[in-house]
Amino acid sequence: MRKHYSPAWRKELDYIMKLLTHIIKTEWKSLLRGKWVIGYTIIFILLTDSLLRFGGGGSEALLSLSNVMLLFIPLVGMIYGILYIYQSREFVELLLTQPIDRKVLYWGLFLGISTPLMAAFIIGSMLPLAWHGILAADSTSSLLVLGLGGMLTLIFVSLGFVFGLMFYDDRIKGFGFTIVVWLFLAILYDGLVLLIVFVFGDYPLEQFVIVVSTLNPIDLARILIMLEFDISALMGYTGAVFNRFFGQNTGIMTASGMLFLWLAIPTWMGLRIFRKKDF
């Protein structure tokens, strides 16, 4: 049987890519038929369109869209990821008994369910931006917001995967943990940082605040938006400090780098758990 190992890495890679596209294609088909993702797209079409119609100029609408996105994409992404793990338990177990590598199966499933959600946000928000002419006029800002939304989707779906695998047998705990993490990262975090700064105002806290803000992907995305639009007052405390410390260009580079790290770590953790787990 060893002869299956011997083909050159090229052939091996082709085989893996074939498997990955096969899994991803199947997931896409199945999700699109579920209409859930289509509904999600329509929500963003309606939201962005009405923001552009009634919310003032292009950059203001983009900022409002970012605020909605920063709040809801993390929640939707995590719930969606964890729900997939819980709903497809038996199916995933059946797939694991097939002669394929767990690693390939993990990437296939993760990309197969996260990319439709990412596409739903990007397409849903991009269409109104395009027909209102904002995409052409403010292309960098528009693409940044769309890209960040896509990135946050991937990050939080992978976090949902991780929590689902961690609390595989205890759904209540899994969902509870997800909600608490969302509350903490999306809502409480900035307030807590502000509180610490307020209490320890006599000490030099800039570096602390910078470190703390890179520990929260939502903060990182918020900082990037703020740096792009150059409006620190609107975007929370951590963002303002970040701007002052790094300036615009270095700030954008650092924050983007950290955001990629935030994507890499949960996906890697999910992969690790998935490979070692007893199903």
CB of 73 to another protein, least distance (A): 24
- Measured between alpha carbons, how far is residue 209 from residues 230, 232, 240, 251, 258 in Å? 19, 15, 10, 14, 15
CB of 279 to another protein, least distance (A): 4
- Measured distance CA(66)–CA(145) in Å, rounded: 6
The span of 14-22, 125-133, 185-193, 207-215 binding another protein (CB under 8 A) equals 14-22
CB of 223 to another protein, least distance (A): 38
22 binds another protein (CB under 8 A): yes
Please, which of residues 201-230 interact with another protein by CB under 8 A?
Answer: none
Binding another protein (rule: CB under 8 A), the pick from 11, 91, 176, 206 is 91
**x/- track of binding to another protein for residues 259-278 (CB under 8 A):** ----------------xx-x
Binding another protein (rule: CB under 8 A), the pick from 12, 60, 101, 206 is 101
Tracing tokens 């690790």 back to the chain, one arrives at: 272
- Measured distance CA(266)–CA(264) in Å, rounded: 6
CB of 4 to another protein, least distance (A): 5
Burial of 62 (0-12, 13-18, 19+ CB in 10 A): buried
Contacts of 26 (CB under 8 A, 6+ apart): 112
Binding another protein (rule: CB under 8 A), the pick from 6, 9, 54, 99 is 99
Binding another protein (rule: CB under 8 A), the pick from 45, 100, 119, 143 is 100
CA atoms within 13 A on the CB side of 103: 4
With respect to another protein, which residue has the nearer C-beta, 99 or 204?
Answer: 99
CB of 175 to another protein, least distance (A): 19
User: Could you tell me how many residues make up the chain?
Assistant: 279
- Measured distance CA(194)–CA(209) in Å, rounded: 9
Residue 231, phi then psi, degrees to nearest 5:
-135, 80
Binding another protein (rule: CB under 8 A), the pick from 30, 50, 207, 248 is 30
Contacts of 270 (CB under 8 A, 6+ apart): 106, 110, 158, 161, 162, 165
Size of the site for another protein (CB under 8 A): 31
The span of 47-55, 88-96, 173-181, 253-261 binding another protein (CB under 8 A) equals 88-96
Which chain residues interact with another protein by CB under 8 A? 1, 4-5, 15, 19, 22-23, 26, 29-31, 33-34, 88-91, 93-102, 275-276, 278-279
